[in-house]
Amino acid sequence: MKNWTTRLGSVALCTSLVAGCSGTASPPPSANGETPQGSEKTKNTFTMLMVDHPNWPYNKDWVVWKWIEEKTGATFQVQLPSGELKDTINLNVASGNMPDITFFTGRADADKFGQQGVLANILDYIDSMPNLKKWLEKYPGIAKSSLAANGAMYMLPNEGFGETNRLIWMYREDVFKKHNLNPPSNYEELIEVSKKLKELYPGSYPFSFRTGPRLAILDYASAQFGTHSGFFLDEKTGKLRYGPTEDGYKKMVEMFHRFHKEGIMPPDWLTVNVQQWQNMVSTDKSFMIFDYIGRLDLFNIPMQKTNPEFKLAFMTPPEGVPGFKVNPYIHFIESGMTISARSGKIKEALQAYDWFYSEEAKTLLSWGKDNEIYTNENGQRKLKPDYLDVTDVRKKTGLATNGAYTWFDYDAHLAPATPGQREAYDQARKHDSVFRVKPQYNESELTTVSMLQSAVDKHREEQITRFILGERSLDQWDQYVAEAKKLGLDELTKLTQTAYDRLR
């Protein structure tokens, strides 16, 4: 990944020079990315393929497009796929008829096509993107995770909107207070308080979740045991680790086995669906959950209409092992905009998107113009009564829709939330685990990695499930590790180490 480190050094050098390194005749942006008043905006129209959302279908008359044009001179001829976005992209690639800009829902496909020469390498144009330069320095982890195996960047990175995916522990504060119970500070206490709740509420399952399939719940809980459900770099030593063979992972599995054995979680935890889970939480059948933070208002608002005492609240994540009162860092998204390598307007498109990485753009594309969507009352922004909620804002204005943001201030979506929801976000941000950069395999490695990963993951899911259900004794853990190695774990480790070495 020397390509990236060399460029990052160039970014730092250019940032320190007032004149910059761009060489472009465009006026330099101000400190917050604003273009000087009176400067001429070059008009450009770009073709764009993107996918919309049924709750806020694309509208060419959204005011957000007007605001973007005012700041960048860019307008967009938007195309929507007639079927699946992925199928349309494949057809465009095959025909060689790519629009200037294409929205990808996943970075892997963008990196694959980029390395095939279909998409432009954004870093080739970084000297004409002063705002993005500063932004990449501000978010080095995201910068690294945005790179393909060859050190190129094919998708415009994003930050902020992933907050919608934040996971937290929550508990029924009203029930705990009623019975003089304290929220657990570790997993042993979680078991003890769950036993008391089962005595008080026969037939209940004090801890429930809807993420049993493919053991997703363990992907999330592993952070509290100082490990991970796959490969990761140790933040202290920089060494490669594979979580599912570690002692911390074994301890987590042991805890979930005890949850299952003692009826702390539902017996059908592997298949509980959303509706079943919601019924348990809303009918005093479950009192601690681990899910998206938005569930707080989803439960509290309707439940408090019939039971004013009902209160689901943020719970500090319990430690699995000492020092890990953390929730997993999964609040990021890996979708975004790419530029066709065949476009005749690559530099122009990237210069337009460069503004998106300015403070000015972050504010405008999150909150809208002053007093048009949110009012400012005594220093606090409030959603105007013209809008029911943030979904209505997206539907009517286009804010926070695909293609209309890269750097988002999620506080805009918290403004209409209840005080409890906003407080939960404040608390949750104090308990983030580290952001883990994923390995980027090159095309020559992908076939082997895919084959080995499939075998190792299948074995892990099957055997860990058996450990939790008690169908296999944890005394056989070393045998389980040996089985994984026979399936190719060591070879997969070497390939992954090579992929991570490219990040250095």
- pLDDT for residue 36: 54
Q: What is the CATH number of the domain that holds 216?
A: 3.40.190.10
> Where are the alpha helices (H) located in 47-158, listed in sequence order?
63-72, 85-95, 107-115, 130-138, 140-145
- pLDDT for residue 30: 53
The answer to whether position 46 is within a domain reads yes
Report pLDDT digits (tens) over 383-433: 999 999 999 999 999 999 999 999 999 999 999 999 999 999 999 999 999
Residues 91 and 208 in one domain: no
- pLDDT for residue 17: 31
Last residue within a domain, chosen from 407, 431, 456: 407
Report pLDDT digits (tens) over 225-248: 999 999 999 988 989 999 999 999
Report the predicted TM-score, pTM, of the whole model to 2 decimal places: 0.88
Structural domain of 486: 443-501
Residues 376 and 245 in one domain: no
The answer to whether position 301 is within a domain reads yes
Residues 180 and 268 in one domain: yes
Residues 238 and 288 in one domain: yes
The DSSP output letter for 186 is B
Last residue within a domain, chosen from 281, 315, 349: 315
- pLDDT for residue 148: 96
> At 356, phi and psi to the nearest 5?
-60, -20
Mean pLDDT of the chain: 92
Residues 359 and 467 in one domain: no
The answer to whether position 427 is within a domain reads no
- pLDDT for residue 19: 32
- pLDDT for residue 504: 77
58-65 long-range Cβ contacts below 8 angstroms, 24+ apart: 58/401, 59/398, 62/396, 62/397, 62/398, 62/401, 62/404, 63/368, 63/372, 63/397, 63/398, 64/365, 64/368, 64/397, 64/398, 64/399, 64/401, 64/404, 65/398, 65/404
The answer to whether position 325 is within a domain reads no
Residues 289 and 257 in one domain: yes
Residues 152 and 6 in one domain: yes
In total, how many domains does the chain have?
Answer: 3
> At 56, phi and psi to the nearest 5?
-145, 70
Residues 71 and 153 in one domain: yes
Q: Which residue ranges of the chain lie beneath pLDDT 50?
A: 1-5, 8-28, 37-38
Last residue within a domain, chosen from 407, 432, 465: 407
The answer to whether position 200 is within a domain reads yes
Residues 309 and 211 in one domain: yes
> At 393, phi and psi to the nearest 5?
-60, -45
The answer to whether position 59 is within a domain reads yes
Residues 173 and 158 in one domain: no
Residues 310 and 366 in one domain: no
The answer to whether position 22 is within a domain reads yes
Residues 255 and 180 in one domain: yes
Looking at the chain, how many residues does it have?
Answer: 504
The answer to whether position 414 is within a domain reads no
CA–centroid distance for 193 within its chain = 32
